[in-house]
Chain A
Amino acid sequence: MAGISLRKLRKTFGTLTVVHDIDLEIADKEFIILVGPSGCGKSTTLRMIAGLEDISSGDLVIGDTIVNDVPPKNRDIAMVFQNYALYPHMTVYKNMAFGLELRHSPREIIDKKVNEAAEILDIAHLLNRRPKALSGGQRQRVALGRAMVRSPAVFLLDEPLSNLDAKLRTAMRAEITKLHRKLDATFIYVTHDQVEAMTMADRIVVMKDGHIHQVDTPQALYDRPVNMFVAGFIGAPQMNFFPVAVARGGTSVRFGDRELPLPARLSEALPPGSADRACMLGLRPEHFHERLPVDVDPAMTAEMDMEVELAEPMGAELHLNGVLGGETVIARVSPRCQARAGDRITLIADLSSAHLFDKKTEAAFGN
């Protein structure tokens, strides 16, 4: 009903193209998150969907109508801004009722909807206050409430949590997820925080430099990144990369003077004639172990020495920052590990979970 299609959507400012002909199908009632570093075009894409930016070329389809030239108010959307954009001279009630009043809704309906939304968001006691008298979290709720009262088919959220402190952000994350389930509407959410993306989204769209790199569910993105950018962007601490060369007909790679085994799914994915091909081997921090885990094939591991430069205890785990074979790496190990800064320890790398990328194209093999 309110599925959204982006068809070769492009945005240019003068000679600068910030969104390059992106295609994206968003299903009705889906929670989709656009994620990427600053300047990747994710906010511009959202603003094009909202109708706040003109579309330079391509089509934007909501439901089954092309809405390129439909003004924002007729697109059946609501938007929550990063800095909330509450109307400072109106009370919370007025802020929430403004959109309905412009649509000449009857007074009782406005009253009912505002009170309902306030009840859901737990801001009923704030209705007579001005935004100035609210905390950041409360303002955020009011902004959400203002979007809710119009019952739009699509919610657009532009980094709505980035102005909140860490604790509140975690709480609001859960609330927005619940809200999505309750409201039964399409959510399009923009963030640069991959944790938000991983925890909330049905599907994540990873963008960079105006291109979509990968669209998939959070777990699939994590397990099967299509290129080095996605692999590095999703997951914290981020994936470690090692420059390697393909050896032994693809069954192993050379890393410095060592040889590391390659799992079958990677060796099979290597195209013929890949001998000595320069690649990047990707290993996530949790694929380093102090001792061999029971469920890992010992043939698919390699012992590697690491000089620890910094040990960050996180409570449930320990992050070791250091140098391994000349490369800076982060390993995530059990908090029982006694290694501290300056130590030299031997870690077991689990290569069965490794990723392999072409060094030139940065594209992944074996996905």
Chain B
Amino acid sequence: MTFIAKPKIELPGEQLNEVGLKRSDYEGVLSTLCAGCGHDSITAAIVQAFWELSIAPKDVVKLSGIGCSSKTPAYFISGAHGFNSVHGRMPAVASGALAANRNLVAIGVSGDGDSLSIGFGQFGHAVRRNVNMLYIIENNGVYGLTKGQFSASADRGSKSKRGAVNRMRSIDPVATAIALGGSFVARGFSGDREQLVPLIKAGIKHRGCAVIDVISPCVTFNDHEGSTKSYAYTRSHYNPAVNAEYIAPAEEIKANYDKGETMLVTLHDGSRILLRKADSSFPPTLRSAAMRYLEAHSSRGEVVTGVLYINEDMPLLHDIAGTTATPLTDLPYERLSPGSEALNRLQKRMR
């Protein structure tokens, strides 16, 4: 990862969002990932989503662990504070950051190695605590920086570039997050930006831990015949089960009601998510239904995508802890120190 400033290209008539920023203002430094890497598409989707939501960069914190995916926070929103932490520990840093300042908009970017192996515990506990963040797993089934070992999300029977067959069962972060009681669980594909951008917007606006597993092919180590995380495989087995559309509070609904059923989920700030389901029998607000749907379709080798579970009413870490609405970082010291009188009174009981 080198540090290359991205040339800012002024496009005449470029649109400004509600906070007066151009889309390019949400970009970061130039990516040093391989040409065609799925992660770069996800970065572009993140840029698009944050720009469309008009979130001020200074209010955003972007965090990551270690790995190709974890390099990407440098490639978006250069006006946001970034934290490239240690391997598998992004969730802990994000949890602490949000414990201290609950007003920050947090996006954590992780990978399958980072979240499903070394950081599996932290991933699980961020979901369990319902930390108010967007948690993206850029999932390519392979360790890229160390040159092609299988990761925990590699499917059984899939082949490595050198022809070795993976005999271990895979861990599906979506099924895991749903089983753990996650409040928002989705899957996207780096090759389907039309689906992904709304998913990211819904995830950002969701109150709680929004896990989005994004299948993101590794062009160098895992895009060959026999891989189940390649562009070709993902496209041929693609099942967009529940597409989401984000609708801002004042916006009108102009959705296409062409197939399946629609469902409207209202978020805490009055915005809504319109869910369009391919299968009318599957309500993504029911945990058991989500698990059944996943099980049935994944076992056929399908890549099930979309918002697969959503619950807007689950308590956050701060709700459970009973923390004040004011960010703790904004409390003046005077409100934190009990003062000398209180100390004297307290010590009367220590005699």
Tell me whether A and B are bound partners.
no
On B, residues with C-beta under 8 Å from A are none
